[in-house]
Structure 1
Amino acid sequence: MNQTRKLLDELVSGKITVEEAEKQLKLSFLDDVSGLAMIDANRGTRSGIPEIVFGESKDASDIIQIVHRMLNTQNAALITRLDQEKLDVLESKLKEKNIEVFGKTPLLSVIVSNKDWSAQETSGRIAVITAGTSDIPYAKEAEALAKLVGVDVLSFYDVGVSGIHRLIGPIKEIVEKDVDALIVFAGMEGALPTVVAALVDIPVIGVPVPTGYGFGGKGETALASMLQSCSPGLAVVNIGNGLGAASVASLIAIRAAKNRP
């Protein structure tokens, strides 16, 4: 339950007065963490996607301070782009919290939550597909975000165009399970999202991944290829932006689920 909903429930049940509710709402919008960060506590309520901590450019001690403060107003926080050293510090300093790890270093994503937290069920469904094994760490970041917002994920790895027959089973399952949106990760020439978008009537979000060789091998070729796709129904995010793709896919899925019989 988000903080605003909890506050409204307490008001309706008579646990707090109108004046107390008004005061808490005013205090909940922004929370200053020792000059390190301004936490947007109501972002999840306002936009559907809560504030996420980008861990790559922050010290472990700063991340811990921010997460502690976030968990005062929400029950879970997602930290992305951690290496093993930072994760070790988090696990040692946050022993009283639940910690779920996705991916591998240096692209670890972590959901830190209070002991009583479970994601709010939405009935939204997305699928994540990777062309190669090297793309999986970026896919894991997307899976972490989907879990945080209560969207179910079907994952299929290493089904790229060099072995196109491997895609048949995943596509069949995706259609049978009535998935709301697809995220397709591909490096190299970045062809897989175009192929997938040509096979389904589901919104596809392509994520170029910085895997490849030599010229254009840092995701530039994959990005250009996806942007020039001839398959309708394909949208593209920036190189490696699994989080952005998951945000869009999850919002699509949550809205679709609201209208499902």
Structure 2
Amino acid sequence: MDLHTILDRFANGSLSLSDVEKEISIHAIEKIGDIAKLDVGREMRKGIPEIIFAENKEYKDVIKIALAAIRRNGQTVVSRIRKTELSRVANALKKNSLVVEVGRKSTTLLASDKSFGRKMIGAHIGIIAAGTSDIGVAEEARLVAKAMGCEAMVSYDVGIAGMHRLFPALKEMMAQNVGAIVVVAGMEGALASVVTSMVDTPVVGVPTSIGYGFGANGIAALASMLQSCTLGLAVVNIDNGVGAGAYAASVAKRITRK
């Protein structure tokens, strides 16, 4: 629950004072056996829900942690699920009467209770992917932003090899007054600098591990973005769509806060 929900429930009598104290304690954790400790107050403190990094976790542990997080907070993001287990994880969550959205070409999903009322607060971000191979990382950013109550305008496969594809997308994002733009690009990663040079909106660059030969696995894209001479570009780690989505949504939410 976020702070507004907690206070609303206290005001209408559905939460006691002791319940409120428990909810807002920065020390509040929920132990899940001996495998995990949920930071149950994170969403209230930061506006970012529990995100479960699944890559090196066993299937049964992923499910156990996800169900506990949803029981406590109504939703969770599960990122970087093994491709061989993606369908299995998604189906297991659906069998628990949960709403599950899997990102396009992605191994990340957003799961929530059917009764969960996600507050879309009017904040908007843009997400641009240079190529089709970058969509999976871009979808990570979109799902995290959605979990934070932030809507995303997306435009995929608009890299610099065909620059004319980019302009309509940027024009629409500027017309919608997005609070930040996430640019996802592999190979030489130049798209992030190009976008930053054309807008007055904060841009978050996400280098991806798409590429081969010299500077492969995202090294060239990361170096290019870090060396950008265009001001207004922040850069996250290679393939870190989750971090980019959280940062961009945080910026957009701050802008819309009354």
In the superposition, the TM-score normalised over structure 1's length comes to 0.92
1:15 to 1:152, Cα distance in 2 relative to 1, 3 A: closer
1:12 to 1:157, Cα distance in 2 relative to 1, 3 A: same
Q: For 2:19 and 2:257, how far apart are their aligned partners in 1?
A: 32
CA contact (8 A) 1:4 1:42 kept: no
What SS does the corresponding residue of 1:108 show, helix, strand or coil? coil
**Alignment of structure 1 residues 41-80 onto 2, 5 Å:** 41-80=40-79
1:168 is matched with which residue? 167
Q: How many residue pairs were aligned? A: 256
Q: For 2:230 and 2:23, how far apart are their aligned partners in 1?
A: 49
2:135 is matched with which residue? 136
What SS does the corresponding residue of 1:82 show, helix, strand or coil? coil
1:102 is matched with which residue? 103
Q: For 1:63 and 1:117, how far apart are their aligned partners in 2?
A: 21
What SS does the corresponding residue of 2:108 show, helix, strand or coil? strand
What SS does the corresponding residue of 2:55 show, helix, strand or coil? coil
Q: Give the superposition deviation at 1:22.
A: 3.5
CA contact (8 A) 1:103 1:141 kept: no
Q: For 1:16 and 1:164, how far apart are their aligned partners in 2?
A: 55
1:252 to 1:7, Cα distance in 2 relative to 1, 3 A: closer
**Alignment of structure 1 residues 33-44 onto 2, 5 Å:** 33-44=32-43
CA contact (8 A) 2:50 2:69 kept: no
In the superposition, the TM-score normalised over structure 2's length comes to 0.93
1:15 to 1:165, Cα distance in 2 relative to 1, 3 A: closer
2:201 is matched with which residue? 202
Aligned-CA RMSD value: 1.8
> Structure 1 runs of 4+ off > 6 angstroms?
none
Q: Give the superposition deviation at 1:69.
A: 1.1
1:21 to 1:117, Cα distance in 2 relative to 1, 3 A: closer
Q: Which runs of 5+ in 2 are unaligned?
A: none
What SS does the corresponding residue of 1:61 show, helix, strand or coil? helix
**Does 2:210 align with 1:211?**
yes
Q: Give the superposition deviation at 1:18.
A: 2.6
1:166 to 1:18, Cα distance in 2 relative to 1, 3 A: closer
The letter for the 1-side match of 2:241 is G
2:9 is matched with which residue? 10
Query: Which of 5-14 and 120-129 deviates more?
Result: 5-14
Q: For 1:155 and 1:3, how far apart are their aligned partners in 2?
A: 27
CA contact (8 A) 1:204 1:234 kept: yes
What SS does the corresponding residue of 1:206 show, helix, strand or coil? strand
Query: Which of 94-103 and 190-199 deviates more?
Result: 94-103
Q: Give the superposition deviation at 1:54.
A: 0.5
Q: Give the superposition deviation at 1:84.
A: 4.2
1:219 to 1:231, Cα distance in 2 relative to 1, 3 A: same
Deviations 1:212-243 (Å, cap 9, x if unpaired)?
Answer: 12121110001001111011111111111111
1:88 is matched with which residue? 87
Q: Which runs of 5+ in 1 are unaligned?
A: none
1:187 is matched with which residue? 186
The letter for the 2-side match of 1:97 is L
Q: For 2:154 and 2:91, how far apart are their aligned partners in 1?
A: 30
